[in-house]
Amino acid sequence: MSVEQTYQARKERILKAVRLEEPDRVPVVLEYSGFAADVTNTPMAEFLKSADKNLETMLAAWDIVGDGDAINYGLFWPYGLCYSFFSKIAVPGVDLPDNEMWQVAETELMKPEDYDVILEGDWPTYYRTFLDERLLSEVPSYFKPPQWLAPDSRAIWKSRGVPVLSGGDVTTPFELLCGSRSLMEFCVDLMTIPDKVEAVMDVIVPHLTRTAIRRAGKYSYDGVWIGGWRTAPENLSPEMWNRFVWPYFRRVVTEVTQAGLIAYLHLDSNWTRELARFKELPKGCCVMALDGESDIRKARETLDGHMCVMGDVPASLLFSGTPDDVYNYASALISDLGPNGFILQSGCDIPTNAKLENVQAMVAAAMN
């Protein structure tokens, strides 16, 4: 097949899974960042410092693995995490030794009085000011545009026959406030000033999807990444989850799907308790991506005929298992959850120290 034919075949395989149709086989997606540096023997600081080097390394890692149907995201800018976590990021070559992993450096950057600032002003202004003054003010200039200028990575991956799933990142008010207030302080807020926290969330949520939807349209992406980690039900009582998480999560997902985009729900930690609630989301245009903590078979059973499920070869298995272990685990997922409405992928990112032969075994399970 030509490169274009390969691209279209891979893309259609993914879209059939999302639409709950039966593809010719279960698709397999690669999701990685640090793994690309490790498998190509590229120092982590070098991998991150230049957008061109970052993309080059991501592409080289794909070639080394040898196959797959899509890449989850095609480029990684470490300070992009500031926008999702609303926390500072410690980066190798800047704050850390050259070959360390980047880290979320959570501190109490937002103070209680900031809630009133948000309520009395407007969220977009507060958001930009917070980023400029509290998160990105000490970032070296070479890590910011125009020096760190992102290429059209989707087009470059397409020229290699590889679809990129996610064209932008969205999260919820809970994740932003928790990251900027810090976990302990925010938990206290939820118990002592819940009405104020809810009012602030109501101010934030109308603004969350606009940039990602606009970017997806500009660069012709099919989907948007929507993340949840501390919003996992295992971290909150049903009462708190139903008040502070679900209404906002549901609104964000609905806005993305109403824009004609696939909502890739990147759900870290354990969401098993509330799986049935996801039936409230639009049918056949969302993907529930799980990281190994949720019961993926329960998710498939609960959402059968309503939502595609993606995952969940564990990071621990990709690092410490054997190729046979990985192949057997992935094959069992395909047998139990496929053939329609399922995409094989690692649980969250392929870990930086994953064994190449294990990643190849995961891919081979889908190809055979």
DSSP string, 198-213: HHHHHHHGGGSSHHHH
The pTM of this model reads 0.96
Say how many domains are in the chain. Answer: 1
Q: Give CA separation, 360 vs 29, 79, 136, 326, 353, in Å.
A: 12, 29, 37, 9, 14
Quote the domain boundaries for residue 235.
3-367
Separation between Cα atoms, residue 37 and residue 44, nearest integer Å:
6
Q: How does DSSP classify residue 244?
A: H
The CATH number given to whatever domain includes residue 141 is 3.20.20.210
Query: Are the C-beta atoms of residues 30 and 71 closer than 8 Å to each other?
Result: yes
Query: Are the C-beta atoms of residues 167 and 216 closer than 8 Å to each other?
Result: yes
* pLDDT tens for each residue of 330-347: 999 999 999 999 999 999
Residue 118 in tokens: 């948000």
Which segments within 102-194 are labelled E, that is strand? 103-105, 166-170
The residue ranges of the chain whose pLDDT is under 50 are none
* pLDDT tens for each residue of 95-142: 999 999 999 998 999 999 999 999 999 999 999 999 999 999 999 999
Give the model's pLDDT for residue 1: 85
